A and B are shown apart, each in its own frame.
Chain A
Amino acid sequence: MKNLLSAFSALVAVGMLATSATAANLVLYTSQPNEDAQATVDGFMAANPDVKVDWVRDGTPKIMAKLMAEIEAGSPAADLLLIADTVTLERMKQAGQLMAYKSPEAVNYDASLYDADGAYYSTKLITTGIMYNTAAAMKPTSWADLAKPEAKGLVAMPSPLTSGAALIHAQTLAAVPSLGWDYYKALQANGAVAAGGNGAVLKSVASGEKAYGVVVDYMPIREKAKGAPVEFVFPTEGVSAVTEPVAILSTTKNAEAAKKFVDYVLSEKGQEGFLKLGYIPARNGMPVPEGFPARDTIKVLPIDAAAALKATEEDLKTFSGIFGTN
């Protein structure tokens, strides 16, 4: 019994030590896939050995809900955000939840890629196009192809309720006159499913559950290099794009370390890390990863950020109405 008691107290002590040791200097909330989030954090910690970063990964809307619940309870755990789109961060900036920081690295970025007050900085360019399994009967070249009878019941796409990129994508296509919400209705009528995030779509198409997927570019291009039977297409109408911005929360208790993190992901070294993972870096003068066409040949569809910000709730409802998600 005495041994047990001492074992018990030792365990509790170890637990306290462990929690204080894992009580990282920085907590990052990110929507990057697990492997990429780990690689980003590892790269930063190698460059800044005195800062320890803990991270949590989920789809942008989900991790934002978690953060909002924590802000409501009065104790947001995160210091930093690295999430899909600037629209979400613009909303947080207007609510006063972000810290303004003028990073010295900003001079290497196009002024359209960061907030003038320094509330957030884009880190990469992620487009959403079409992937297909090489065993599929049709080689799609345009968005319209996915609504054709050949693709009936074979299309998977991420849900805007899970993925930030998917929300921007839906808002972008909805604003294209030849597509619009009618396009989404046609997709639904064609048996397309919208569930989960981009990772789920990748898995579903690569493993042959579905034949065609609406997905972010780097996932299928990277999987193809690993030997998966997939191809990625930039559709003729153009692609939607998000820029995965980084931002510091105004409630951070470790602003200096958080600023170091922002500087790191914007630095040449940080951007090279993204390049190696298969992302198009946002920084000027960087090449594109293997398997991508030259950057100026990618046709990016425009999005009105201010309008998107205002219409977010409405658009989510429209989407859920069409696909019956909740």
Chain B
Amino acid sequence: MPHFLAKANSQPRWLFPFVVTFVACLCVLPLARLVGAGISSILSGKALALVLEPSVWSAAVNTLTTSFFGMIAAVLIGGLFALALTLADVRGKWLLSFLFMLPTMIPPQVQALAWVGMSGPSSPLLKALGIAPAMGSPQPLYSVGGIALLYGVQHAPLVYLSLRAGLLALPRDGIEAAKLAGASPFRVLKDIILPLSLPGIIAGAAIAFVSGVGNFGIPAILGLPAQIYTLPTLIYSRLASFGGNTFGDIAVLSAMIGLMAVAGLQIQERALRGRDYRVIGLSGASATFRLGRWRPALEAFLWLLLFVMLIAPMAALVSASLVPAYGVVLSLKTASFSAYEEILFRQTVTRTAFGNSIFLAGTTALGLLVIGVLAGYTLTRGASRWTGLLSAMIEIPYALPGIVISVAFVLVFAAPLPFLGVTIYGTIWIILAAYFASFLAVGLKPVVSALRQLDPALEEAARLSGAGFYRRLFDIIVPLIAPAAGASVILVFLISCNELTVSALLWSAGTQTLGVAIYNLDDSGSYDLASALSVLVVLMVVVLMLLLELMAARLPKGVVPWRN
């Protein structure tokens, strides 16, 4: 009887310690090491000297300015799309929202490359159309404003998602009542909808700000040619020109990024305090506003925005990849696929990068699925009072920009591993470990939400019938959360396949990822090859997103971020 009881116990004894150890090793240990390095740098006085360097100062100011204005742009663009696509009777919503989500799924460095190809005197697209500005006129995007604008485009979908979730929960009867009482649509928007959806806007703005603070791809492509540094690119260039106190310096710099991110989230908490609105009544307001004759105008405006944000840059990217040599005017006659030929059939780095990225993304996605199911189970079913702490530990690396995680991993793993004596610095395994830490929360969320929806009665019934933990796991829990788990796998795969920030610091010979390969090609002046590889990556992203879209009907609500 005791044996039977133990077998049918709620969960095996190893589960909780296993999950805690895993999370502690990947999330807590590196960050503790980072904090330690930062403190020792402060105590030795080197941190102060560093912070007083003018280049560090200007990088910090640039980081804040670009992220702040990027946030404003993201709120304006994302807010408009969320309001229009959720509340108004605009046609073609599915296509609009799918296309609008793309910029955030496309790697930032690809986005930046595409925009560079769309503007300035060297744009192959503008040249082909015969409207390129005169030789020697500056590239307008190589500026603080250009970086902020691209942050806005890249992060607008984040605001969109956050605001949309709030808008969908709006009480329909309140709006109906106001309308019946004769309030104009503008009045309804101003007095009912905006105040109630403010928490969504604030949360979205905070995510946009924090994402901007940690962005590496955009300021690397747009800032470095004009000597405009942000903190992430400063860390990169300090590490690239390795000197005496490099490790201590980058620890302090990344701690500064971490502080900015945390401050941003704190301001969000402040702003949200006292705005915990609970709404009652029917929610799910759809097409509240009939636009009437304004509808074509709004639709045209939305499509125009999408054209500038997505379609024109992508057209520029494609045309840059087809140019046979720099400066040749692109036409049907001059177009050439030689860049694709070079990148697909001659450059071994492409194969290495595709192999590495797919291996890393696949292992991260599937590994995090296993961890996610176990951790999610612990979090939702566990009665331990430590579950709150565990959940907070998982959230830490998610809230911190990827560059901070990478620096922490550099610090921990630059020396050989204790006991084993092998060093994983410079191998693919350090990138894999950093991915596990960075994307744990992304992979966990869909699984946890599916587990929460699951009726515990099913599992309890099985337990009463004597089914052990593994039996219940494989026969009841996994089949029921399978759709959500599948979505989490694709999401993590998509994000880690396109990732640059972490791998830019951790790559070495033979461990280049797709993000690194694109960045290095552009950095060495091979803009055509970088464009060709980018086009291939964008195609891969679109295919994966369509795959998610096909699965969407079978998934719990909210798992595919851009679906209703």
How many Å from the CB of A98 to the closest CB on chain B?
19
B359 cross-chain contacts in A, Cβ below 8 A: 11, 14-15, 18
The CB with the most chain A CB atoms within 10 A, among B120, B132, B355, B423, is that of B355
- The answer to whether A228 and B520 have CB atoms under 8 Å apart is no
Q: Name B106-140 residues within 8 Å CB distance of A.
A: 120-122, 124, 127, 132, 135-136, 139
- The answer to whether A38 and B346 have CB atoms under 8 Å apart is yes
How many Å from the CB of A215 to the closest CB on chain B?
10
How many Å from the CB of A46 to the closest CB on chain B?
13
- The answer to whether A69 and B246 have CB atoms under 8 Å apart is yes
**A61 to B237 Cα, complex, angstroms:** 12
**A72 to B426 Cα, complex, angstroms:** 13
- The answer to whether A195 and B363 have CB atoms under 8 Å apart is no
B241 cross-chain contacts in A, Cβ below 8 A: 61-62, 65, 161
Partner of B526, one of A24, A33, A54: A33
- The answer to whether B246 and A200 have CB atoms under 8 Å apart is no
Q: Which residue of A lies closest to B132 (CB)?
A: A208
**Number of contacting residues on B, CB 8 A?**
62
Q: Which residue of B lies closest to A324 (CB)?
A: B227
**A259 to B254 Cα, complex, angstroms:** 42
B132 cross-chain contacts in A, Cβ below 8 A: 208
Query: In this assembly, does B57 line the interface, its C-beta being within 8 Å of a C-beta of chain A?
Result: no
**A74 to B422 Cα, complex, angstroms:** 11
A-B contact count (CB 8 A): 183
Partner of A196, one of B136, B324, B525: B525
Partner of B240, one of A19, A22, A66, A153: A66
A196 cross-chain contacts in B, Cβ below 8 A: 224-225, 523, 525
- The answer to whether A210 and B136 have CB atoms under 8 Å apart is yes
Partner of A5, one of B226, B229, B370, B509: B370
- The answer to whether B525 and A38 have CB atoms under 8 Å apart is no
What are the interface flags for A199-215 relative to B under an 8 Å C-beta threshold, 1 for contact and 0 otherwise?
A: 11111101111110000
Query: In this assembly, does B349 line the interface, its C-beta being within 8 Å of a C-beta of chain A?
Result: yes
- The answer to whether A72 and B524 have CB atoms under 8 Å apart is no
Known: A18-B359, A34-B526. A8 touches B367 (CB 8 A): yes
- The answer to whether B426 and A8 have CB atoms under 8 Å apart is no
- The answer to whether A34 and B347 have CB atoms under 8 Å apart is yes
- The answer to whether B510 and A8 have CB atoms under 8 Å apart is no
B122 cross-chain contacts in A, Cβ below 8 A: 203-204, 207-209
Query: In this assembly, does A75 line the interface, its C-beta being within 8 Å of a C-beta of chain B?
Result: yes
A42 cross-chain contacts in B, Cβ below 8 A: 346
Query: In this assembly, does B335 line the interface, its C-beta being within 8 Å of a C-beta of chain A?
Result: no
How many Å from the CB of A276 to the closest CB on chain B?
14
- The answer to whether B509 and A77 have CB atoms under 8 Å apart is yes
Query: In this assembly, does A229 line the interface, its C-beta being within 8 Å of a C-beta of chain B?
Result: yes
Partner of A136, one of B135, B242, B325, B423: B135
State the B residues within 8 Å of A (CB).
Answer: 55, 120-122, 124, 127, 132, 135-136, 139, 224-227, 229, 239-242, 246, 324-328, 334, 342, 346-349, 352, 355, 359, 362-363, 366-367, 369-370, 373, 414-415, 423, 425-428, 473-474, 478, 508-510, 520-521, 523-527, 529
Enumerate the 5 nearest inter-chain pairs by beta-carbon distance, A residue then B residue, closest first: A199-B525, A206-B326, A207-B122, A69-B242, A226-B325
Could you pull out 16 A-B pairs where Cβ atoms are within 8 angstroms?
Answer: A12-B363, A23-B510, A33-B526, A34-B524, A35-B342, A35-B529, A41-B348, A62-B240, A65-B242, A69-B242, A73-B415, A73-B423, A197-B525, A199-B525, A206-B326, A226-B325
